[in-house]
């Protein structure tokens, strides 16, 4: 068998699966979330890279969705079918927690959905600060927010250890995933 044949086979397999290998990187387009081509924005990966949160248009409203990265399977979110537009999703290590900014009446509100318990935690910021974007620490014990004050933005960090259990990598204390995580 010619020596180039295995390479050709791998290349064919990758092109069929929508992947490419360039410069040592393995590339893949995110699995579609619906029919046809649509905008997908603000990607956020879980700490272990297993889950992908992103924003799509649903009935003209910017809505967060959660998928398994490899299969594209959509995962249910209990509290996040309303209060659009959604903005700035962020996931913890195993994807137990999904933090994002939602619309609450006239104001923006940072919230965290706990996929293991089904609870929604609103985060009330001090001093009338309004969230513009956020990043949840992978263990869920801190959150960094871009907040607006007097027309300018700044980054502020808050401790969440009094509110959330840690969501650490397997093998570390207090790890735990969402409802579909293996036991």
Q: Is 84 helix (H, G, I), strand (E, B) or coil?
A: coil
Smallest gap from Cβ 1 to other proteins, in A, equals: 27
Nearer to other proteins (CB atom), residue 1 or residue 25: 25
Nearer to other proteins (CB atom), residue 2 or residue 38: 38
Nearest to residue 92, comparing CAs of 75, 108, 116?
A: 116
Smallest gap from Cβ 56 to other proteins, in A, equals: 10
Rounded CA gap, 178 and 17, in Å? Answer: 28
Nearer to other proteins (CB atom), residue 42 or residue 103: 42
Nearest to residue 51, comparing CAs of 94, 86, 100?
A: 94
Alpha carbon distance, N-terminus to C-terminus of the chain: 45
Nearer to other proteins (CB atom), residue 80 or residue 165: 165
Rounded CA gap, 64 and 84, in Å? Answer: 9
Smallest gap from Cβ 35 to other proteins, in A, equals: 14
Nearest to residue 58, comparing CAs of 31, 85, 30?
A: 85
Contact residues toward other proteins (CB under 8 A) are 20, 22-30, 37-49, 52, 54, 69, 93, 121-126, 132-138, 142-146, 152-164, 169
Smallest gap from Cβ 153 to other proteins, in A, equals: 5
Nearer to other proteins (CB atom), residue 2 or residue 151: 151
Smallest gap from Cβ 150 to other proteins, in A, equals: 9
Q: Could you tell me which residues are beta bridge partners of residue 52?
A: 45, 67
């Amino acid at each position: 068998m010619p020596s180039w044949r295995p390479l050709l086979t791998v290349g064919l397999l990758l092109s069929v699966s929508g992947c490419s290998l360039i410069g040592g990187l393995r590339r893949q387009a995110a699995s579609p979330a619906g029919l046809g081509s649509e905008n997908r924005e603000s990607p956020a990966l879980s700490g272990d890279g297993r889950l992908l949160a992103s924003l799509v248009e649903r009935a003209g409203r910017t809505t967060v969705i959660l998928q398994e990265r490899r299969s594209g399977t959509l995962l249910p979110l209990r509290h996040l079918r309303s209060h659009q537009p959604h903005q700035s999703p962020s996931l913890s290590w195993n994807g137990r927690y999904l933090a994002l900014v939602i619309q609450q009446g006239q104001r923006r509100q940072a919230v965290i959905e706990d996929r293991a318990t089904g609870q929604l935690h609103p985060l009330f910021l001090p001093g009338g600060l309004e969230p513009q974007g956020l990043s949840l620490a992978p263990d869920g014990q801190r959150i960094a927010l871009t907040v607006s004050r007097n027309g300018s933005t700044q980054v502020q960090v808050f401790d969440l250890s009094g509110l959330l259990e840690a969501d650490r990598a397997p093998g570390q204390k207090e790890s735990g995933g969402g409802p579909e995580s293996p036991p």
